Amino acid sequence: MYENLVPRFIRYVKTETRSDENSTTIPSTQSQVAFAKTLMKELENIGLSDISYNESNGYVTATLPSNTAKKVPTVGFIAHMDTADFNAKNVNPQFHEQYNGEVLVLNEEQHVVLDPKEFPNLKNYIGQTLITTDGTTLLGADDKAGIAEIMTAMEILINDDSIEHGDIRVGFGPDEEIGIGADRFDVPGFKATFAYTMDGGPIGELEFESFNAASAIVKIQGKNVHPGTAKNTMVNAVKIGMAFDALLPQDEVPEKTEGREGFYHLVGITGEVDEATLTYIIRDHDREKFEARKAFMLEQAAKLNKEYGSERITIDLNDSYYNMGEIIEKDMTVVDLAEEAMKNLSIEPIIEPIRGGTDGSKISFMGLPTPNIFAGGENFHGRYEFVAVESMEKATAVIVEIARLNALKGA
């Protein structure tokens, strides 16, 4: 059944499903709704049951019924339908068979190349078949590789009765890339004991820790007067914004941190003399350090307000998600099962904290432990995204092996 994996993936990525953070609908774009409907038809054709689309949260869910008399915990597999904030229209995947480790020309006209000097991860794929963009769009392996892998694994299981498994639930959801997709996920309705998001990167990734995450909107009120008579009167909001950012630790930014190191990330700034807005995201794996980062920003705002003698700066802080490790560490069975499945397939598990978040970050706190497994893609969210066919095949095999192991361990 692996022969359906790549055609399925190509069909998915050619369907535009970019989410929209400015939308007020669920899902945020109608293209995701349309994609959900096509996935429902495919699930039906494969032979799954209980197929439904939840109008209130945008999730497609379905069940692969158990084929064993054993009492087996229900496992879920989840992936997201949307793609990130980069051009996702007219995706034109390019195949590079037997990759030789040299520069890949994605778009000769626009001089877009995948160069191993810039992307040393390419060296891990010598001899494999790479699927890349044509240099003008993202690819969409994040997370349509995950959807294709889950769908293909279900197809394998339903057509091979020799692989014993319990009930399996699948879920394809919206708006992960804008951080709201899992907000209304129906954990009781999903009826799984534990689950996995298939939304990781290279082979072996198994992640049960994520960032704690928050957003900060810093609004600054200035005072604009004619520059010729501005002395002791003008208050330049843009300058205050620059001063505020300078008060934050300049080495604690994404481009200077790694591993468990947290950061402040200035993702946007708009403004004029009269008013300005700075938009930040705040990240840290450690909850205490995370809370301290938010408090530090408020302290710097208070310091500048005192200096200017009025409340020029206000900060709107909102938590986005928390480190799912707080939940999963209470019972590591879900991680142990995935780790064993990978080792059975001669895949070395790479267990490291995510420098980001997944839908599992929120779903775990809703009561469903949901670590993250590799889907195979690299260089997500841009024109340099790629995935190896072999990586997708191995991710599919991990899903099947988790289902088999779960039944093997059942009562």
pLDDT in tens, 353-406: 999 889 999 999 999 999 999 999 999 999 999 999 999 999 999 999 999 999
| φ, ψ (nearest 5 deg) of residue 399 | -60, -50
pLDDT over 90, % of the chain = 98
Chain-wide mean pLDDT for the chain? 96
Q: Is 199 annotated as a binding residue?
A: yes
What confidence score (pLDDT) does residue 265 get?
A: 98
Residue with tokens 């009930």: 167
The pTM of the full predicted model, rounded to 2 decimals, is: 0.92
What is the helix (H) or strand (E) element at residue 156, kind and residue range?
helix 141-158
Catalytic member of 20, 42, 82, 155: 82
Catalytic member of 176, 207, 209, 378: 176
Domains of the chain: 4-209+324-409 (3.40.630.10), 212-321 (3.30.70.360)
Each residue's pLDDT tens digit, 266-313? 999 999 999 999 999 999 999 999 999 999 999 999 999 999 999 999
Q: Is 142 annotated as a binding residue?
A: yes
Cα–Cα dist 128/392, whole Å:
12
The mean per-residue pLDDT over the stretch 330-358 comes to: 96
The reply to whether 176 belongs to the active site is yes
What confidence score (pLDDT) does residue 2 get?
A: 82
The mean per-residue pLDDT over the stretch 138-148 comes to: 97
The reply to whether 85 belongs to the active site is no
Q: How confident is residue 411, by pLDDT bands cut at 50, 70 and 90?
A: low
Number of other CB atoms surrounding residue 254 within 10 Å: 15
Q: Is 251 annotated as a binding residue?
A: no
| Residue 87 pLDDT > 80 | yes
| Residue 95 pLDDT > 90 | yes
What confidence score (pLDDT) does residue 98 get?
A: 97
Q: Is 177 annotated as a binding residue?
A: yes
What confidence score (pLDDT) does residue 193 get?
A: 97
Each residue's pLDDT tens digit, 211-256? 999 999 999 999 999 999 999 999 999 999 999 999 999 999 999 9
Number of other CB atoms surrounding residue 178 within 10 Å: 19
| Residue 203 pLDDT > 80 | yes
What confidence score (pLDDT) does residue 356 get?
A: 87
Strand, helix or coil for residue 398: helix
Q: Is 284 annotated as a binding residue?
A: no
b/e for 37-73, b at 16 or more Cβ within 10 A? eebbebbeebebeebeebeebbbbbbbbebbeeeebb
| Residue 1 pLDDT > 80 | no
